[in-house]
Amino acid sequence: MNSRADFANIRRVVIKIGSSLLTKGGQGLDTVAIAEWVRQMAGLRQQGVDVILVSSGSVAEGMCRLGLKVRPTVLHELQAAASVGQMGLVRVFDDNFQQHNLHAAQVLLTHDDLSDRQRYLNARSTLLTLLKFGVIPVINENDAVATEEIRFGDNDTLAALVANLVEAELLVILTDQKGLFTADPSVYPDATLLSEVSVNDERLEKMAGDSRSGLGRGGMFTKVRAARLAARSGAATVVAPGVLNNVIAAVFSGTEVGTHFLPDVEPLIARKRWLAGQLQVKGQLIVDLGAAKALKEQGKSLLAVGVKAVSGEFERGELVSCVDEAGLEVARGLINYGYSDAKLILGKSSAEFEKILGYADDAEIIHRDNLVLI
């Protein structure tokens, strides 16, 4: 994703909207602005683009409803405010998407959901299924139950990790700022807006500042960090002013709005690097000649019917190696079944899974999206 002109070809995007924008600077949900953003997202969906929304604002809306003037610092008070605010936030989004004949789905996540391999795959499967049904997932951190140890820290980070999770090509962060400047423009009047910058630019941390509104947990620094996280899976990031008229459509048209953070690698290369080098192999599958050929030459998923033997100790979502009958490694990937279940279904058709296991989940033992050739 090397230029804005490429945005017209994007098929999957994560859009994050900040607290200050959503709540008019803390005055309550800005229903007019939300309706406009939803209209633009609905337009993308009608063009065949998968849209995932990461929405801040639950704590800020809860503060308004509870009459709190200052963001709570005690965890259980934050959780209470988030619980109250989430009700209004979801209702407004759902009502607006329904106006465009679209269904929305609330998805609440904690850091544990994306750091645990099994829960990671479960979250991924749920989100991809929602997208397949044409649903708009509305994602927020599960503030009502998250402890400090399992918090993302801010929704910019959450949005970037979701972009990694669903392999989005673009992350759009709508904020109350015009983008990233060379310095804080409120302090340095001669600061200039950066239209395009590499995520590896060493100057980024110095140019980024903290949150000005005090409502959210992020500032420009967290957006820079989010852009770098999104780049791990090859996604580009645009930080743009949410108040700009038709801002989402402007981004997708290639208009120079906000700051475009260029990723350092292409998506496929990034994912291969992650699968092949950053996870520990927990087991091994011996595949027959036909399965090995389908993996190497046709880019197919691995089906249980093509597996002859299984070894190791692994759970669903962990990395396993696929070797041919000569003992040569063909591929490795994230397995959809733990060792005990994989051993029971090897050599079997997916139509037999429910009878053998008592349940039917994924048809593939390793989906091609979670598999890399060696």
High-pLDDT (> 90) share of the chain, %: 43
Question: CA 227, CA 221: separation in Å to the nearest integer?
Answer: 10
Would 355 be classed as within a structural domain? yes
Tokens 């989906």 correspond to: 367
274 is a domain residue? no
Q: Are residues 231 and 319 in the same domain?
A: no
Q: Does the structure show a pLDDT above 50 at 150?
A: no
Q: What is the pLDDT of residue 71?
A: 82
Contacts of 284 (CB under 8 A, 6+ apart): 310, 311, 312, 320, 321, 322, 323
Residue 109 has pLDDT above 50, yes or no: yes
Residue 83 lies in a domain: yes
| pLDDT, tens digit, 9 for 90 and up, residues 293-348 | 999 888 899 999 999 999 999 988 888 999 999 999 999 888 999 999 999 999 99
Residues 226, 291 within the same domain: no
Domain C-terminal end among 267, 301, 327: 267
Q: For the segment 160-179, what is each residue's pLDDT rounded down to a tens digit?
A: 989 988 989 999 999 988 98
The pLDDT value recorded for residue 274 is 58
Range of the domain at 285: 279-373
- 25, pLDDT greater than 60: yes
Instruction: Examine the domain organization and report whether 320 and 245 are in the same domain.
Output: no
Task: Specify whether 215 is located in the same domain as 320.
Answer: no
Average pLDDT of every residue of the chain: 85
Asked if 242 and 333 sit in the same domain, the reply is no
| pLDDT surpassing 90 at residue 4 | no
Q: Is residue 97 one of the residues assigned to a domain?
A: yes
State whether 72 and 167 are in the same domain: yes
pLDDT of 151 above 80: no
Q: How many structural domains is the chain composed of?
A: 2
* Enclosing H/E stretch for 221: helix 220-231
Least confident of 45-54, 71-80, 314-323: 71-80
Examine the domain organization and report whether 324 and 196 are in the same domain: no
For residue 172, being part of any structural domain is answered with yes
Would the pLDDT of 211 be above 50? no
CATH of residue 362: 2.30.130.10
Average pLDDT over residues 212-241: 78
Q: State whether 81 and 53 are in the same domain.
A: yes
Most confident by average pLDDT, 47-61, 92-106, 145-159: 92-106
Q: Which of 20, 52, 41 lies closest to 230 in space, CA to CA?
A: 52
How open is the CA angle 364-160-283, to the nearest 5 degrees?
A: 35
Specify the pLDDT at position 129.
Answer: 95
Q: Are residues 106 and 25 in the same domain?
A: yes
* 346 close to 308: Cβ distance less than 8 angstroms: yes
Across the chain, where does the E strand assignment appear? 12-17, 50-55, 104-109, 136-141, 170-175, 196-198, 236-241, 259-262, 281-287, 307-312, 319-323, 329-334, 371-373
Within-domain flag for 185: yes
Give the residue with greater pLDDT, 222 vs 27: 222
Is 360 part of any domain?
yes
292 and 255 housed in the same domain? no
Render pLDDT for 197-206 as a digit per residue (tens, 0 to 9): 888 887 787 7
Q: Which residue has the higher pLDDT, 17 or 79?
A: 17
In this prediction, residue 122 carries a pLDDT of 86
Residue 145 lies inside a defined structural domain of this protein: yes
CATH of the domain at 44: 3.40.1160.10
**Beta-strand relationship, 307-312 and 281-287:** antiparallel
Range of lowest pLDDT (30-44, 119-133, 263-277, 301-315):
263-277
263 and 283 fall within a common domain: no
Residues 169 and 242 in one domain: yes
